[in-house]
Structure 1
Amino acid sequence: MILKGRRSEQALLQELLDGARAGMSGALVLRGDAGLGKTALLDHAVASATGMRVSQVAGIEAEQELGFAAVHRVLRPLLGRRADLPEPQRAALETALGMVGGPPPDRFLVGLAVLTLLAQSAREQPLLLVCDDAQWVDRESLDVLAFVARRLHADGIVALFAVRDEAGTLPALAGLPGLRLGRLPQTDALALLMDHIGGTPVDQVVIDRIMAAAAGNPLALRELSRGPAPVGPDFGEPPAIGPRLEARFLLRVRDLPASSRTALLALAADATGDRHLVRRAVRHLLGSDGEATTEAFEQLEREELLTRPPVPGTSPFRHPLIRSAVYGGASRADRRAVHAALAAVTDARTDPDRHAWHTAAATDGPDEAVATALHHGAERARNTGGYLAQASFLHRAAELTEDPARRAARLLEACAAALTAGAPHRTEELLRLLPASDPGAPLLGAHADRLRGLARLMLGRDGAVRLLLDAALTLARHEPEAGRDVFLEAVDAAMVVPRTADATALEVATAALATRARHAEATDVDATVPDLLLTGHARLVAASHPQAAPSLRAALAAMRRPGAEESGAARWTLLGMIAAVEMWDIDTLGECGRRYADAARRHGALRMLQISAHANATSEVFRGNLATAASHFAEFKDIADATGADPRHSHPTDAMLHAWRGDEAATLSAVQAQRELYPELPGGIQVQLSRAASVVLELGHRRYPQAQAAAQEVLDDPPPHCGGLSLPGLVEAAVRNDDPAVARRALRTLAERATASGTPWALGLLARSRALLAHDSQAEDHFQEAIALLAPTPLRTERAHADLLYGEWLRRQRRKRDARTRLRLAHEQFTSMGASAFAERARLELLATGAHARARGAGTDHQLTPQESRIARMAAHGATNQEIATNVFISASTVEYHLAKAFRKLGVTSRRQLPAALQQPPLRPRSTGIRPRQEP
């Protein structure tokens, strides 16, 4: 089938289908105005998918509120295979589809289950997944289907979506390959019109008017060719083609007999696509026998308003605009009557939610019984993870609730459900329906302010921190635990996104500490992880590191307790990981990163897994395992992409890795991206991590003025979090720049923080920095102390850096032999970890002593991509393809694809050979024999 004017689009679709038949995958989002031919292109793809299994689903406007409805239609033929799914995936899917009870499932764990089932099916036969009118697919299903589309690679699956332009940007589909349909060229439009007209003689003036009115829209050309051409002058801008076509469809509907109009409205009000159910409803409305109902439906098919034959899982209407025209053009009384009939023929026992929804739509005025039924439906939606459905049920229940307090409570619950669903715009719409603040009900206003603040935070708007702070202050007086949690949310917001000028981190911290002090007598404020984290982070901001350190140490100890990752501590993973970095606690950072990541994988908690992946990556950078760090950063980005996060925020977060590798272009690109996102200084934690990366990069390349300039802001305007990472570099750079005043200021700040921390990492950095400023008679003792402190730790980067600085000092003391020992050791360590700039710095220092650096390999897996390296390492540790797929959020087929590429690059033929092929050259055991100096 050749669609006029769409040859290039058809060629692209054919390329995707051919790729799927060859075992590869692809996704495409078709965008365009109503009637431009998106559905026709999808139909063409279906007709061209010979030898492929086809799964079609179309968004139905009335079904947007029913969570996972579209997923259920897609999976209906495959549900018999769900027993083969890994247990967490199977449980999440069955809960989402209402097959079993349980806690609300993680949406992306459901997505992984859907990906697994579709990929298993595609192994037997390539698969085409078609989703028309995606703007009307329920949010939960669209998130899941978009997740699947993003994870496709070597699965033999093509995923096609069609979206109307007027629907705006759908966040779920952001980042997927897209194709925007334009109007047909004049020649093709005229040819299409003549095809529709056939042999009917038509005046040229009529043809010209049709062409002008249709403006290259294929559906408009078809519809306008069926009746009289538009006449009359056109004053002003013409209306959009969608409303014009809806009006034309409505004119056709009004000429139908009453029975056919009733049948059409019943179909428009129904979301099941079950024509048998609708026929029963029409018979109920008409009070007639089945023959009259059959005649009504047959006339609708003759008028080409309905598809013939019906396609399961798709809308019965030939075009969605017909549905919009019919339902929108009906009177309220007629709509209520149709919904009442649908409620009457829907079994309240087997489908209570649809029954409640139709009953509510048929109700005119408050009705607590119906509102209660809707509230029960909201609870069921929440239990299956359908949070937007929950919000819609609660919104409608509130509309039917007469008692003001109960109505407000239901609206507030609807707002919270919408926010949980990741729909901040919907949250704000519902919040506007809440009554004005009532001094007699402060808790309602406080909970509403919290939701407003979180919605603004998600949307990147100002005012978020102030709203959270106000909510926390009010809640703390009435619900201390809830108040504490909102204080933590405010601390998090002020720390991560500091651009809001409405309330500073200092205001939040001061208020939190004052509130905690007032409640100190009533409760043990430091009993739990969130209590400890709030006190510690607030003191970091409002007081000092020495005052914050006891609470932060206790919080980190609590986070390491057995089972902590399964408790409420998991909610505050980000604040815990930041505390570990702030306290220079590499052991907690590494252990909690691994444990909390494992727990997140078990539960499908992608937000926690994303934070843990970043913590693991940061830990491995400082351990000098840069290839492993790259794998964790790849996982972090994978999760961000899988969840549809803005890549501008997630992708530049590996600046520190690039800096240690000495990759100037990649580091500067990541740093610049963070600066553009957060232009205000001192900025949030990502800005501080980027600044620390800049310092590392410049020190490695021996550009000391630039290193000092990058770190100077930490001294001039100290940030409360993550600024300490730049202080040792500032001391080093200032010493090299012969600026002892700045070096001493930085050392005093470092000494205060490192002493408060007390970890070997912190004290080792302090001793190393003191050595740089010490008199020659004392410097060596400080260097040896630093090396002794750092030697037992896993911090290869810091150990190598200490050796480098010690070797440089020894060379300047003209102790060439001793200098060569240290510099050679530093060079070997930096080379083995792939820190090229620092390795070159050590090599040049060695040359200055008259020695040459020995060549050393950098490992055998450097040629692998981060994804290939990650998969190969998991396989080397014995993980099966399905286990790897579950952890990496891809299909087992894609795991096979990446493993095959890794095998070729590594020159191996079996998994048994992977451990040896991936093994890095072992470091020479260190035995310094140096004991730490004792502080006087």
Structure 2
Amino acid sequence: MIMRGRGAESALVHRLLEGARAGMSGVLVLRGDAGIGKTALLDHAVASASGLQVTRVAGVEAEQELGFAAVHRVLLPFLGARAGLPGPQRAALETAFGMVGGAAPDRFLVGLAALTLLAESARERPLLVVCDDAQWLDRESLDVLAFVGRRLHADGIVALFALRDDAAAPPTLTGLPELRLGRLPESDALALLMDHADGGIDQVVAERIIAEAAGNPLALRELAQGPHVVEAGFAEPPALGRRLEARFLRRVHDMPVLTRTVLLTAAADATGDRHLVRRAVRHRMGAGNDDIAEAFEQAEREELLTARPAPGASAFRHPLIRSAVYGGASRAERRSVHAALAAVTDAHAEPERHAWHAAAAADGPDEQVASALHGCAERARNTGGYLAQAAFLQRAADLTDDPVQRTARLLEACAAALMAGAPHRAEELLSRLPAPGPAIPVLGAHADRLGGLARLMLGGDGAVRLLLDAALVLSEHDPGAGRDTLLEAFDAAMVAPRSGPDAGALQVAGAALTAVACRTAPAPGADVCVPDLLLDGHARLVAVGHREAAPSLRAALAAMRLPGAEEGGAVRWSLLGMIAAVELWDIDALGECGRRYADAARGHGALRMLQISAHANATSEVFRGNLAGAEAHFAEFKDIADATGADPRFSHPTDVMLHAWRGDEPATLSAVAAQRELYPELPGGIQVQLARAALVVLGLGGRRYPQAQAAAQAVLDDPPPHCGGLSLPGLVEAAVRNGDQGVARRALELLAERATASGTPWASGLLARSRALVAPDSEAEGLFQEAAAHLAPTPLLTEKAHTDLLYGEWLRRQRRRHDARSLLRRAHGQFTSMGAAAFAERARLELRATGEQARKRGAGTERHLTPQEFRVARMAARGATNQEIATDLFISASTVEYHLGKVFRKLGVSSRRQLAASLPQE
């Protein structure tokens, strides 16, 4: 059956359902005005889903604050199979649903558990997941379901979401395939009007109704009913939802008191449990069962309630009816209904719902209810429902009379909102603090800290200043909190789009060094923790120099590599640790921390930590010359960003170094342009430095030395606090090629200071190679050989090949063609194998100048695979099972099977044993 006026939309839904029957997956977000037909299209999908399992949920405003409530309803039919989930997934799911106690789970591990559970069920029979009024789902559930939607591929699952146009778009749904429902064509509107008209409608009235309904199916249906036909008093289409609500409300007001009470009680209840509604009505009105049953029947006859709502569907015929009933009641009526619901809700079995109804019934401060809400907030935190925790705490604050305690609860609510990744919510909570601010300085500092973190997440101005001000106060009262806030300020100074001249990394470093100097020295032999070492190291790096910073940074990296460190507090500061490894040119620390912290993140489902580790692993693989592996890690980084609903403008240009080493000029310049657009006033930020280093690599590979020098010059003129060292060797090389010995020597001096402080083989090799470029011919060869010796035991294939190239070029200019050929041949082979096309061409031209033609080599077979296929293939070649691959890559086992099938066909292999020989060696 095709819906009237929705042929194209129905056909799209049918194609998705057919795809599920064939084992593929699809997701679709339906958007449109209230009453435009979203729910009707969902109903049509359910009716058309023959042969499919169906699980359905409808968002309810009153349940928005109960964490994981909606996803619990979605998964309820499948929870009996949870014993088959991998251990960490099962524990996360059961903890989120309050089935067991434990540490708060990462919501994305809950999402992976939901995906696995749904995908395993779909193996038996395809599955349709329907989420109506998604704007009213609790945030934790929406995050989980959106995560599932982004990971669907070859699972036999269709996920449909519907949300109103007049609602704020949930950011987690951004980027999913979307279908906007518009007004019905006039011919279909007329046909629909006649379908629902009570008796005939003359042409004049019909035209008036069609014009005023603006093609909205619900308005047409309502205006077609009986004597109301001639009351078409609607104004412009933007007000249509409110006008429809007013119309429904007039109908409700015409009903008996008991029927109105039934409707209001049902609107205030989020469970859809009619037995609970009946008990609450009986408690409030003292009515008998027969009278209450008759009230329900009247509401059904008037088409306000549905007689037999499907599991997960709303009891109201349309969400506008629910909002009209609830919004049209007086505050006293709503309080009375919530009091009745609280009275009949078991406070032991459902403490959250009981407390929420009790709070809605309160008429002023009530510490007993506030304390109950605070207890609910603690339970929500323990299940990972941070937005639910924030909501309970906010409501508790509203009912708290003591101003200091009210402020403390609001600050706690704000912190929970930030943990949930909801900075706008956090800022709104901070705006509720008593003006001009808390009387207690520590509370004011905590407010500044939370405000700074919120601004950082939103990319707004002033984050560093707020964090720095907070740290200065907290350091006096709570040194641990002060230290953590200074580390957060360093994070912000590295990545914030704008920080201001009086609040940057240098100001944070000064405050940090003062705090470190004032701190009591640890007892002899006592362990110094990672955060203390990182704070001291980064502060000295910014304010003093690499030589003074290196001991603390080395100690921090050593502590981060201790057994089990990735399971402890070091995780929180892993970004600062990875940057320390880059500053010290420590490829071993970067690679080991990246791998270990990534493994720990996968085990815990901690996607944000996995993102940091994925970027570290990608960077490490770039320098190792494994560009295919780096592409897979960068793809994982972006994949996680997309799965978590992050802004792709920030995440997608981060693979700029990979593009530069591949010699892909359009992709490199595009990523650099994106970084400049996002960070126009941030000369020292790490993303800007990566973009600058990429331009240097691109220029050197293409033998465009003036461009390479121009890109790196800012590092010399205004040395950035972090990651500027990546450009220094290239600046020396470019300046020498341009005949600018002054710049070359200045860059070499700065490089020598940093490399000597580091002392790693990588740093020593770069320093010797750069010295060779500016040295007289009598000294250059020894320095080139020294560089090669330093780099030989390292895995740094890009640096080894680059050194061979530079040494070979020098030998050719010395007319030692025979000696040059072997080095240039090796460099050409290495660059070609890794896919560094521009450098390979530079080596080929140099080799040709010696009188030898280099053999052309094709791209490796791994380039025929997508990044996801390559990641799946690499893990399968190592012996991982499908479920292990699915867990690590946050996809389903069915999708792993699908990708492996494509890998086998592309590589021409028939078993996992053959994969290892078909993939590049790491």
Q: TM-score range by the shorter chain?
A: over 0.9
Equivalent residue for 1:928? none
Query: How far did 1:699 drift?
Result: 0.8
On the 8 A contact 1:213/1:230 being kept in 2, the answer is no
The alpha-carbon distance between structure 1 residues 233 and 836, as it changes in their structure 2 partners (threshold 3 A), is closer
Q: Which moved more, 1:206-215 or 1:255-264?
A: 206-215
Work out the CA distance in 1 between the residues paired with 2:497 and 2:255: 61
Give the SS at the match of 1:159. Answer: strand
Equivalent residue for 1:142? 142
On the 8 A contact 2:462/2:498 being kept in 1, the answer is no
Equivalent residue for 2:397? 398
Equivalent residue for 1:317? 316
Alignment of 1:742 onto 2:743: yes
Between the two proteins, the alignment pairs up a number of residues equal to 919
On the 8 A contact 2:460/2:497 being kept in 1, the answer is no
CA deviation map 1:80-108 (0-9, x unaligned): 11010000000000000000001111000
Query: How far did 1:520 drift?
Result: 4.6
Work out the CA distance in 2 between the residues paired with 1:439 and 1:894: 53
The correspondence of residues 505-524 of structure 1 with structure 2, limited to 5 A, is: 505-521=505-521
Equivalent residue for 1:834? 835
Equivalent residue for 2:793? 792
Work out the CA distance in 1 between the residues paired with 2:449 and 2:437: 16
Equivalent residue for 1:432? 431
Query: How far did 1:859 drift?
Result: 3.6
Equivalent residue for 2:95? 95
Give the SS at the match of 1:240. Answer: helix
Equivalent residue for 2:727? 726
CA deviation map 1:7-36 (0-9, x unaligned): 111111111111111111111101111010
Equivalent residue for 2:643? 642
CA deviation map 1:895-918 (0-9, x unaligned): 000000000111111111111222
CA deviation map 1:703-732 (0-9, x unaligned): 111111111111122111111101111111
The correspondence of residues 471-550 of structure 1 with structure 2, limited to 5 A, is: 471-501=470-500, 503-521=503-521, 527-550=528-551
Equivalent residue for 2:822? 821
Equivalent residue for 1:571? 572
Work out the CA distance in 1 between the residues paired with 2:766 and 2:791: 8
CA deviation map 1:549-596 (0-9, x unaligned): 111111111111111111111100000001100110001001111111
Query: How far did 1:625 drift?
Result: 1.1
Equivalent residue for 2:61? 61
The correspondence of residues 358-369 of structure 1 with structure 2, limited to 5 A, is: 358-369=357-368
Work out the CA distance in 2 between the residues paired with 1:793 and 1:844: 27
Query: How far did 1:230 drift?
Result: 6.2
Give the SS at the match of 2:158. Answer: strand
**Letter of the 2:834 counterpart:** M
Equivalent residue for 1:157? 157
**Letter of the 2:675 counterpart:** Q
Work out the CA distance in 1 between the residues paired with 2:230 and 2:442: 59
Give the SS at the match of 1:809. Answer: helix
On the 8 A contact 1:27/1:177 being kept in 2, the answer is yes
Give the SS at the match of 1:861. Answer: helix
TM-score, scaled relative to structure 1: 0.96
Equivalent residue for 1:671? 672
Work out the CA distance in 2 between the residues paired with 1:231 and 1:131: 34
CA deviation map 1:402-426 (0-9, x unaligned): 2222222111111111111111111
Equivalent residue for 2:167? 167
Work out the CA distance in 1 between the residues paired with 2:732 and 2:166: 57
Give the SS at the match of 1:562. Answer: coil
Work out the CA distance in 2 between the residues paired with 1:850 and 1:480: 67
Query: How far did 1:383 drift?
Result: 0.9
CA deviation map 1:726-764 (0-9, x unaligned): 111111111111111111111111111111111111111
Equivalent residue for 1:214? 213
On the 8 A contact 2:541/2:721 being kept in 1, the answer is yes
Work out the CA distance in 1 between the residues paired with 2:232 and 2:386: 49
**Letter of the 1:325 counterpart:** A
Work out the CA distance in 1 between the residues paired with 2:444 and 2:523: 26
Structure 1: gaps spanning 5 or more residues:
923-936
Work out the CA distance in 2 between the residues paired with 1:22 and 1:232: 47
CA deviation map 1:305-346 (0-9, x unaligned): 011212121210000111111111111111111111111111
Work out the CA distance in 1 between the residues paired with 2:43 and 2:123: 24
Equivalent residue for 1:182? 182
User: Percent of aligned positions with the same letter in both sequences?
Assistant: 77
Work out the CA distance in 2 between the residues paired with 1:728 and 1:293: 82
**Letter of the 2:261 counterpart:** T
Equivalent residue for 2:75? 75
**Letter of the 1:466 counterpart:** R
Q: Which moved more, 1:92-101 or 1:342-351?
A: 342-351
Equivalent residue for 1:418? 417
Give the SS at the match of 1:31. Answer: strand
Work out the CA distance in 2 between the residues paired with 1:526 and 1:678: 39
The correspondence of residues 846-865 of structure 1 with structure 2, limited to 5 A, is: 846-855=847-856, 858-865=859-866
The alpha-carbon distance between structure 1 residues 681 and 353, as it changes in their structure 2 partners (threshold 3 A), is closer
Equivalent residue for 1:930? none
The correspondence of residues 84-483 of structure 1 with structure 2, limited to 5 A, is: 84-197=84-197, 200-226=199-225, 227-229=227-229, 240-437=239-436, 440-483=439-482
Alignment of 1:14 onto 2:14: yes
Give the SS at the match of 2:55. Answer: strand
CA deviation map 1:601-624 (0-9, x unaligned): 111111111111111111111011
Work out the CA distance in 2 between the residues paired with 1:181 and 1:860: 44
Query: How far did 1:231 drift?
Result: 6.0
The alpha-carbon distance between structure 1 residues 729 and 263, as it changes in their structure 2 partners (threshold 3 A), is same
Work out the CA distance in 2 between the residues paired with 1:294 and 1:233: 34
**Letter of the 1:21 counterpart:** R
The alpha-carbon distance between structure 1 residues 238 and 823, as it changes in their structure 2 partners (threshold 3 A), is closer
Work out the CA distance in 2 between the residues paired with 1:695 and 1:526: 41
On the 8 A contact 1:96/1:385 being kept in 2, the answer is yes
The alpha-carbon distance between structure 1 residues 280 and 710, as it changes in their structure 2 partners (threshold 3 A), is same
On the 8 A contact 2:463/2:496 being kept in 1, the answer is no
Work out the CA distance in 1 between the residues paired with 2:587 and 2:859: 24
**Letter of the 2:725 counterpart:** G
On the 8 A contact 1:209/1:230 being kept in 2, the answer is no
Work out the CA distance in 1 between the residues paired with 2:783 and 2:604: 47
Give the SS at the match of 2:27. Answer: strand
The alpha-carbon distance between structure 1 residues 681 and 454, as it changes in their structure 2 partners (threshold 3 A), is closer
Give the SS at the match of 2:861. Answer: coil
Work out the CA distance in 1 between the residues paired with 2:853 and 2:144: 57
Equivalent residue for 1:918? 919
Equivalent residue for 1:46? 46
| Alpha-carbon RMSD | 1.7
On the 8 A contact 2:212/2:232 being kept in 1, the answer is no
Work out the CA distance in 2 between the residues paired with 1:264 and 1:26: 37
**Letter of the 1:649 counterpart:** F
Equivalent residue for 1:908? 909
Equivalent residue for 1:926? none
CA deviation map 1:485-511 (0-9, x unaligned): 000001100111242326222111112
Query: How far did 1:856 drift?
Result: 5.0
Query: How far did 1:447 drift?
Result: 0.6
Work out the CA distance in 2 between the residues paired with 1:619 and 1:242: 55
Work out the CA distance in 1 between the residues paired with 2:398 and 2:705: 66
Equivalent residue for 1:934? none
Query: How far did 1:680 drift?
Result: 2.2
Work out the CA distance in 1 between the residues paired with 2:20 and 2:116: 16
Give the SS at the match of 2:915. Answer: helix
Query: How far did 1:528 drift?
Result: 1.3
**Letter of the 1:892 counterpart:** A
Alignment of 1:608 onto 2:638: no
CA deviation map 1:882-933 (0-9, x unaligned): 000000011000000000000011111111111122244x9xxxxxxxxxxx
CA deviation map 1:173-224 (0-9, x unaligned): 01101111111222222221122215x2334332233223211111111112
Work out the CA distance in 2 between the residues paired with 1:557 and 1:321: 60
The correspondence of residues 644-659 of structure 1 with structure 2, limited to 5 A, is: 644-659=645-660
Q: Which moved more, 1:778-787 or 1:178-187?
A: 178-187
Equivalent residue for 1:931? none
On the 8 A contact 2:57/2:74 being kept in 1, the answer is yes
Work out the CA distance in 2 between the residues paired with 1:397 and 1:305: 34
Work out the CA distance in 2 between the residues paired with 1:477 and 1:756: 33
Query: How far did 1:694 drift?
Result: 1.2
Q: Which moved more, 1:532-541 or 1:571-580?
A: 532-541
